[in-house]
Amino acid sequence: CITQIPQQNIPFINKGNDFSVREIVFAIVELEKSGIYDKETTQRWRDAMALIVPEKCYSVIAPTPPTAVNNWGAFNAVSEQARKWASIADTTPYIENQIESQLLSFDEAGMYRDPNEPMVYDLVTRNLMAAMLYLGYEGRWKQRLESILESVADKEFLMQSVNGELPYGGRSNSFIHNEAHMAICFEYIASARKKRGDTVGASKAKAAANLALENIKLWLRQNPDHHIKNYYPIESKIGCEKYAYYDKYMVTVASFLYLAYLFCDDSIEPSNCPASDTSAYSWTTTGHFHKLFLKADSYFVEMDWNADPHYDASGIGRIQRRDAPSAICLSLPVSKKPSYSTGKENPTGLSICAGIKIDGKWAFALDKDAIYSIPTHHAASDNAHAKWECSIAQEHTIRQQCRVSSNGISISACSNAETAIMIPVFQFDGANRTKTSHSEKEISVVYRGWICRYTTNGKFEDIGQTCVNRNGEYQVFHAANDKSVEVKVTIDRLE
């Protein structure tokens, strides 16, 4: 790699250098620390890496003056800052231009807008900016980067699920490298807050980092281990985009855990964080990311009011209870035509959303044809609540509410016609089948020592369809009633 990367016009060599140079620099530095190789060898590597010309080496290069380019521009900016940090080369003007191009894509809350706003790449790019600071960046954008990272820090706590997971939404989601990104974020926050004397904030961030790491370890302990959160055979690639194969994304886990390790300060003692305590809160992102988060005690809800149909569906896409298997209710929605492999065609999208019967047929608020209002929300000491409206077919309005407490979750919908709530019933994780039962008033799902129960004031109906998302297979039910329907969800450990 060291010999080939600086060379030009070699087919396929330049593709991916944006990522690789940073890794190689870190490897050289670590090998120098270890003393495994003699100084002559490591200096030869350094001399080869010094031959890199950024404009010829990388794939995504911002013009001058800069315009917004995608997150690969942030990756290669870090690669160049790593060369500078390791005293290999100094390309400061290039670094400054690349960073300025990235600053054009942060929204007013400090979240990074990669195309279609995938949740993974918001966090990835912010973490790369944190890496710039760790690697000694002192350029003209330093204060702006510090301001962005601090402005979004407390919001990051509210997006982490009670099982330590990164929010669903968009590409590269539901892989175990997602939580490596969360670990980086919280280790950075912990160290930054400790440095300015905020020991309470540092301890809270350390707890959040540990929670993310526990989620990763859960999957690495499996035999065989998995890079995506299901139990299908690795070679099936169920849940994976074409680029998201096992070898690549396990390297990604290691790569980003190494970055978390660089930020880590083990002298910080963890306390509790919002995802691990009994607090209640509610929060929405900006409209660019269109996400609502509700949490009370051990229950957590994530809702998307304008989902990317290539990956998700609008409505409530995540209900989790702390320590329960994330997929037992729903951990991410189902796209009807997902941009990842499912092994079969999905007959419909699927989320916990409302629908209305029009001319004898159900229409659900799943996709771009459904126009959601921005949810209003509030939290008290022991519960969180939100409500919103949705227009279907431009003339039918459904009013919806969701309430989260220590007793579970209540979801209701009403309109001027027959109304229903779509319900996912977990069937299969790729290796294990759940035990399910249902009646007109109750559905139960038993899985890995836990039971998820749905109850309704309407009537549950199995509509005879199954769908697959990244986590597994779900059976589609409707809870229907005349004009108004409510569904309650509880998740409990089996006695």
Residue 432 reports pLDDT greater than 90: yes
User: What is the per-residue pLDDT across 105-155, written as a single tens digit (0 to 9) for each?
Assistant: 999 999 999 999 999 999 999 999 999 999 999 999 999 999 999 999 999
277 or 7, which is more confident: 277
The per-residue pLDDT of the chain, averaged, comes to 95
Predicted pLDDT at 14: 61
Place of tokens 């990311």: 289
Task: Report pLDDT for 2.
Answer: 86
pLDDT at 451: 98
Condensed to tens digits (0 to 9), the pLDDT of residues 23-44 reads 999 999 999 999 999 999 999 9
Average pLDDT, stretch 479-494? 97
So what's the pLDDT on residue 3?
83
136 by DSSP, 3-state: which? coil
Q: What is the mean pLDDT of residues 173-198?
A: 97
DSSP assignment, residue 346? Answer: -
CA–CA distance, 167 with 156 (Å, rounded to integer): 10
Does the structure show a pLDDT above 60 at 326? yes
What value, to the nearest 5°, has the Cα angle with vertex 307 and ends 305 and 313? 100
pLDDT greater than 80 at residue 64: yes
Give the three-state DSSP class for 354: strand
CB 22 within 8 A of CB 82: yes
Report the percentage of the chain scoring pLDDT > 90: 93
Confidence of residue 8 (pLDDT cuts 50, 70, 90): low
Task: Read off the pLDDT of each residue in 256-261 and give the average, rounded to a whole number.
Answer: 96
pLDDT band with cut points at 50, 70 and 90 for residue 395: confident
Q: Please state the rounded mean pLDDT for residues 198-219.
A: 97
pLDDT given at position 10: 61
Q: Provide the pLDDT for residue 9.
A: 59
Predicted local confidence at residue 5, as pLDDT: 83
Predicted local confidence at residue 393, as pLDDT: 77
| pLDDT above 70: residue 13 | no
- pLDDT of 394 above 80: no
- Which residues are 475's β-sheet partners? 425, 466
Q: Around Cβ 190, how many Cβ atoms within 10 Å?
A: 26
Average pLDDT estimate for 277-299: 98
